[in-house]
Structure 1
Amino acid sequence: MATIHEALLIALDHHRAGRLNDAATIYRRVLEADSGQPDAWQFLGVLHAQSGRAATGRAMLHRAAALRPDGAGTHSNLAGVLQTLGESAAAEASYRRTLRLAPTLADAHAGRASALRALSRADMARDSAIRALALEPAHGEALANAADALLACHQPDAAEAAARRALRMRPDLTAAWMTLGSALTMADRWEEAAPAYRTALALDPRYGEAWENWAALLAKLGRFDESLAGFDRAEALRPSPLLWVTRGIAKMAMARPAEALADFDRALESRPDDSGLRWNRGFARLLIGDYAGAWPEVEHRRADTRTELPWRSFPQPTWGGEDVAGRTLLLYAEQGFGDTLQFVRYAPLAAARGARVLLEVQPQLVRLLSGLPGVERVFGRGEPLPDFDLECPLMSLPRAFATEPDSVPAAPYLRPDPALVRRWRDRIGDGEALKVGLVWAGNPRFPGDRLRSPRLEGMRAVLDVPGVRVFGLQAGPGRADLEGADLPPGFTDLGPELTDFTDTAAIMANLDLVISSCTAPAHLAGALGVPLWVVLPFSPDWRWLLDREDSPWYPTARLFRQTRVGDWASVGRRVADALRRLRAERGACPSPP
């Protein structure tokens, strides 16, 4: 008759060969003979976990760990099962216990990296994966976990490199394929990301997180029906608040904010204190036009510690619209140039309520905004500030003034420098041609810039309209589109001559029309009261609302919207057709006064 040790060896041979029923039978017989045999409990627990019965496996591994508390392998296996069950904190604790017993166990360092990543402790996860690789450089799982941690640290290039190294060692690593897809998605290389996700799902069709990420990518690509089906599959496999948040964001990309709200609300039931989620819900309400419900939600942005934006913290109380007469109020920019230009309209209104208004903005806007009525002084961000009684970021001012779509403070509210206007008039010249400014790209660091920027190619049709002189007002990386471009004689690139927004404002004052993507110059033109055409992606930024050609924020604006994700060519053609009609209506165009 075989001894218990010999029986376990036979069972392990069956186990490793995939003969799980035979292995389970022998493990159970061992336990019938000796219910305190820790190896039998451990291996049977692992077998149950491998067979999709992780909860039962967890109980057996707990029993094994109690019987042999110094068994590093037992604690490591228990940690892996806990991670499978989504109990990441318990898994991380079990991996730490393993590593106290066996500090050089590479598998445990690699597994702990995965648990730490699930706990959003990305830096520690990366370090743990690196430790595993130092112990075992060819550890595919460690490389995959390092890639995932690097991705969480917003290092997509490094994450991609680590994932590809892992896949060279282990082409069957599902997690590495998914991380590769996520790294490519973060780098806006969506078409390359798609096959990586498809491979992950082919390897493991029950990988709920991969279905979720795949569905989110499909939404970006405009494949909405497939995206929703993918989310349904993900929810069937792994329902969670994170899934509902991801689906809500995807539904915003589909221009379905009411449906997004339903997902955000569902997630908030489990995460009522999630500031980022409340902030997303506020943007959904803004896009719908529910400003009253939105502004309080948007205030939660200031409590969101996960954002990269530098939220300011002052000891002075935040002004919320109460009586401010006789008090010094600091208003300050917090986000991009466009936000500053849009919301600075409220500064004179605060002064009209009796406040002594100080304004802090980006240095590039100081000269332009220094003449704003009612503002005592404009500071560049980083300059020393005098004493003040109250503070308020510019984006909180609509709430303080209880702004609704039909009560947006009027534009224009900015004026260009008259001397600069005259100087640029000489540079631009007169003539009968329609004078049009063109901006085709925003800041590429903005998360949605790939979707919102038509680039020069998307607006190419505008350049070919007869009787129109087009002046390029593009600054920043978008100017790269001009390299090697075949430009007509009527195009003049003014980008190299722009020193700051003051020059841009003076140029706009000499134009008949500005055509822009959703970026700062569009807000500048609207704030100046210059005729403005804005080209918008299928799902626009909240400030442009939905299903309308006008804007409550800028009365001189006309909106041209995509009807299909990514289709800028048809938008460019519609703009060009409208420009031809405008040219015909104007006839010989007089110069602006």
Structure 2
Amino acid sequence: MATIAEALTIAFDHHESGRLAEAEILYGRILDADPDQATVLHLLGVLYGQTDRPKLAAALFVGAIGLVPDHPDLRYDLARVRLMLEDGEGAVAVLRQTVALQPDHAAALFQLALAFRSVGRHGDSLLTLERLLTLQPDSLEARYLADRAVEREGRELLAQGRIGHAVERLTRPVAESVGVPLLSAHAAASYSDGKPAEAARLLRGLLAVNPADAMALWNLSLCRFDGRDAAAERLARRARALAPQEAEAHAKLGLALAAQGRHAAAAACGRVALACDPAHALSLSNLGTLTILLDEDAQALRLADRALLVAPDLGDALVVRGDALVRLDRPREAVDAFRGALRVAPRLVTAHVNLAHLLLRLGDYAAGWAEFEWRWRSEAQAGWRRPFRQPRWAGVDLAGQTILVHAEQGLGDTIQFVRFLDAVLRAGPARIHLETQGPLLPLLTHSLDPARVSVIPRAANFPGVSGLPETDVQIPLMSLAGLFCPSLEAIPARVPYLSVPEERRGFWERRLRNDAPGARLRVGLAWAGRPQYHADATRSMPLSALAPLAAVPGVALFSLQVGEASEQIARAPFPVIDLSDGPPGMLEAAAAMEGLDLIVAVDTAIAHLAGALARPVWVLLAKDNDWRWLNGRDDSPWYPTARLFRQTRRSDWSGPVEEAARALRRLVEESV
């Protein structure tokens, strides 16, 4: 009769040769003779697992472990059948015991990663795979699963806005192969979506891992553009030093220089980029932008078209094409270009914003206001975005509710759009809280019905929201036009809609008469806006450019100018009476206007204020005028008392000023 050892040898040979029925019979006979044969319990359990009897297999493995508790392979095999039984938590427990007994058990670590994933513990799964990859760095299966886990966890963290955690997770060594591309892609998407700060955090995480990543450096330089900070230039120069042969490096340095207003130097970088790669579409597009800034519009159009031959779906190049066409007075083609950009890049903020301005300039208000809402995603508007808890008002009935209407951007914008509060009042709110800029508080408080509208100062922690009154809904002031002004004909153009106290009106009328007692016409002047405004150099002029007005007999000129530009009065080659020594503020400026016969102004808050007061106002406009003055008109549907004088050549104010002087001469003659 065979011994147990001999019988086990025969049974194992059957098992190994695939004669599973014979092996099962012999394993059973051995266990009948000696139930404590741990090896036989183990092998029969393996056989049961192979023949789809996982419950029986699990029972045998448990029995074997009871006899040999420190055997890691027994626990490993028990865990595998528990996975077959969909007992993920049981498999996790046994596999953790396995690797505790044998820390370098690679197969157990791999199965533990799978078990963690089966019960939704993706973070633990990834940690286990990282441990396995330190043992087997060339394991393709482990690397594949780790990459998928990293991608899943990274996307979840990014979607939750947990940027710091995402960077920490995705820049660990095991995650680099998928994490770095994922962070780069998310950074690009964040930047395109008007979130440069978020993009910068992601890129800084990449650079912490690889400080010599030229692409991360030059993309981080994009996130630092603010027109003042030289950090963007330093980053771009570091990137160019790492990759001087790359067109992209020169192109990004060009953008950094352009952001500081160094357009000629930026264009030179663009030309070097094209020397590196004549077909580099982004460099062609960027150089097109720069040539527009250098007033080379036809050349910009050619560069954009060259870029589009190389990359027909490059949204930025289509935007450059649209911008060039606007300046070449081909607005309908420009609309097509901007819409083409949005077909290939639906979330391209510059395309939306530029299209909005063009549609509004063309008088297509229904489409224009909708596009205008994209301003909130633009980098230029980043400082105005605020974390309101209240929902945004959609124009529905407001009976019994309170609403916060908050001003945005400049004083002129507030003056122009505050007229829409009448439409809000018709929706029946219990109260409107109008948050506005400090210089407008006295004027708007006097002009608006205090029983229905309370005028409050902009929050001290702007752009925060603490300290504001509790309301049911809120809306930005300029967004009211999208609710109530679908066409030019719908503009609420009843003027005046602002007013001043009689006492202040009388004060200024007496002063103006005393300052120029013999004048036939008293004319107020405002020749410059805020230097901080991005297009101020285009809309403003020097006081000396208004000399033709001073040459008209019988006219006394009064300065309504504030800020640095008012210092030009002392150097003016003609007499101008300075009113800046009077009480400050927009209410006082409005009261002074009531005593003037005419206001002549460039596109600033003074022009809007005069129009809102129904005072005669002549507005001197740059060739590339703001959208609110429309195209080609000499009147304004926003301000019935306004007359517009337009440049015919860029940077040349002689035409509109001479035309205004001739009109002023006729006005004086008619006043006799």
Contact 1:117 1:149 in 2 (8 A): no
> Residue deviations 1:378-424, cap 9 Å, x none?
11111734343332321122232244212211222101232222222
Contact 1:163 1:179 in 2 (8 A): yes
Contact 1:442 1:518 in 2 (8 A): yes
The answer to whether structure 1 residue 543 and structure 2 residue 614 are counterparts is no
The answer to whether structure 1 residue 448 and structure 2 residue 514 are counterparts is no
Q: 1:339 to 1:293 in 2, by over 3 A?
A: same
Deviation at 1:146, TM superposition (A): 4.2
Contact 1:112 1:128 in 2 (8 A): no
Deviation at 1:255, TM superposition (A): 4.7
AA aligned to 1:499 is P
Contact 2:300 2:320 in 1 (8 A): no
Contact 2:593 2:599 in 1 (8 A): yes
Q: Aligned match of 1:414 in 462, 476, 498?
A: 498
> Equivalent residues in 2 for 1:369-448 (5 A)?
369-374=444-449, 375-382=452-459, 384-409=467-492, 410-428=494-512, 429=514, 430-448=517-535
Contact 2:288 2:320 in 1 (8 A): no
> Residue deviations 1:453-478, cap 9 Å, x none?
23435445444444322222222344
Which residue does 2:441 correspond to in 1? 366
> Equivalent residues in 2 for 1:99-110 (5 A)?
100=173
Deviates more, 1:234-243 or 1:522-531: 234-243
Q: 1:204 to 1:346 in 2, by over 3 A?
A: same
Contact 1:257 1:285 in 2 (8 A): no
Contact 1:434 1:467 in 2 (8 A): yes
Contact 2:402 2:471 in 1 (8 A): yes
Q: Percent identity?
A: 38
Q: Aligned match of 2:344 in 267, 270, 281?
A: 270
Deviates more, 1:342-351 or 1:275-284: 275-284
RMSD of aligned Cα (Å): 3.8
Contact 2:326 2:334 in 1 (8 A): yes
AA aligned to 2:304 is F
Deviates more, 1:522-531 or 1:468-477: 468-477
> Equivalent residues in 2 for 1:120-519 (5 A)?
120=191, 121-125=199-203, 142=214, 146=217, 149-156=220-227, 157-160=230-233, 174-239=247-312, 240-273=314-347, 277-302=351-376, 307-355=381-429, 356-374=431-449, 375-382=452-459, 384-409=467-492, 410-428=494-512, 429=514, 430-479=517-566, 482=568, 486-495=571-580, 497=582, 499-519=584-604
Deviation at 1:347, TM superposition (A): 1.5
**TM-score between the two structures when normalised by the length of structure 1:** 0.71
Gaps of 5+ in 1: 1-67, 71-92, 104-108, 134-138, 588-593
> Residue deviations 1:260-316, cap 9 Å, x none?
321222222233355664444333221111112222332344466884142345444
> Residue deviations 1:445-497, cap 9 Å, x none?
323223222343544544444432222222234446x28x6313521233454
Aligned counterparts of 1:123 and 1:372: Cα–Cα separation in 2: 46
Larger Rg: 2
Contact 1:309 1:335 in 2 (8 A): no
Contact 1:116 1:125 in 2 (8 A): no
Which residue does 1:47 correspond to in 2? none
Aligned counterparts of 1:470 and 1:398: Cα–Cα separation in 2: 36
Aligned counterparts of 1:169 and 1:268: Cα–Cα separation in 2: 34
Q: 1:388 to 1:255 in 2, by over 3 A?
A: farther
Q: 1:478 to 1:171 in 2, by over 3 A?
A: farther
Structure showing greater relative contact order (alpha-carbon pairs closer than 8 Å, 6 or more residues apart): 1
Deviation at 1:232, TM superposition (A): 0.5
Q: Count residues in correspondence.
A: 484
Q: 1:486 to 1:371 in 2, by over 3 A?
A: closer
Q: 1:571 to 1:151 in 2, by over 3 A?
A: farther
